[in-house]
Amino acid sequence: MLLALLTATLAQATCGACSAEGRAYQVYAAEARAASAEDHPENAYLFAADVHEELATISGERPGVVRPFRVGTSGADRPIWALRLVDPAVPARGTLLVFANIHALEWVPTEVAVAFALDFAAAPIPGVEIVLIPSLNVDGRALVEEDLRAGRNVYRRGNAARVDLNRDFAVNRESRAIWKALIPGRYVVSPAPLSQPESRALDALADAERFDAAVSLHAFGGFFYSPWAGRWERPADHAEFGRLGGLMQNAMVNHPYRPRQLSRWGFVFRGLGMELDHLYGSYGTYAFLVETTRSGVETLADLGSNFRIYNPRDPGPHAREGVRYLRALATEVASGRVQARGAP
Measure the CA–CA gap between 167 and 158, rounded to whole angstroms.
10
Kindly state the smallest distance separating residue 22's Cβ from Zn ion, in Å: 30
Q: Which of 23/103 has CB closer to Zn ion?
A: 103
Measure the CA–CA gap between 97 and 286, rounded to whole angstroms.
10
Kindly state the smallest distance separating residue 316's Cβ from Zn ion, in Å: 21
Helix, strand, coil percentages (3-state) for the chain, rounded to 5, are: 45, 15, 40
Q: Are strands 258-261 and 223-226 parallel, antiparallel or unpaired?
A: parallel
Q: Which of 119/164 has CB closer to Zn ion?
A: 164
Kindly state the smallest distance separating residue 294's Cβ from Zn ion, in Å: 14
Kindly state the smallest distance separating residue 331's Cβ from Zn ion, in Å: 26
Residues 6+ apart with CB under 8 A from 41: 148, 149, 151
Nearest to 283 by CA among 225, 336, 337, 206: 206
Q: Which of 33/218 has CB closer to Zn ion?
A: 218
Residues of the shown chain interacting with Zn ion in the complex, contacts defined by CB under 5 A: 103, 106, 218
Measure the CA–CA gap between 224 and 216, rounded to whole angstroms.
10
Contact 30, 68 (CB under 8 A): no
Kindly state the smallest distance separating residue 102's Cβ from Zn ion, in Å: 6
Q: Which of 141/218 has CB closer to Zn ion?
A: 218
Q: Which of 106/129 has CB closer to Zn ion?
A: 106
Q: Which residue of this chain has its Cβ atom nearest to Zn ion in the complex?
A: 218
In whole angstroms, what separates CA 274 from the centre of its chain? 13
Kindly state the smallest distance separating residue 309's Cβ from Zn ion, in Å: 12
Q: Which of 52/156 has CB closer to Zn ion?
A: 156
Kindly state the smallest distance separating residue 290's Cβ from Zn ion, in Å: 10
Measure the CA–CA gap between 127 and 144, rounded to whole angstroms.
37
**Helices H / strands E in the chain, number of each:** 11, 8
Q: Which of 52/218 has CB closer to Zn ion?
A: 218
Measure the CA–CA gap between 139 and 143, rounded to whole angstroms.
6
Measure the CA–CA gap between 218 and 226, rounded to whole angstroms.
13
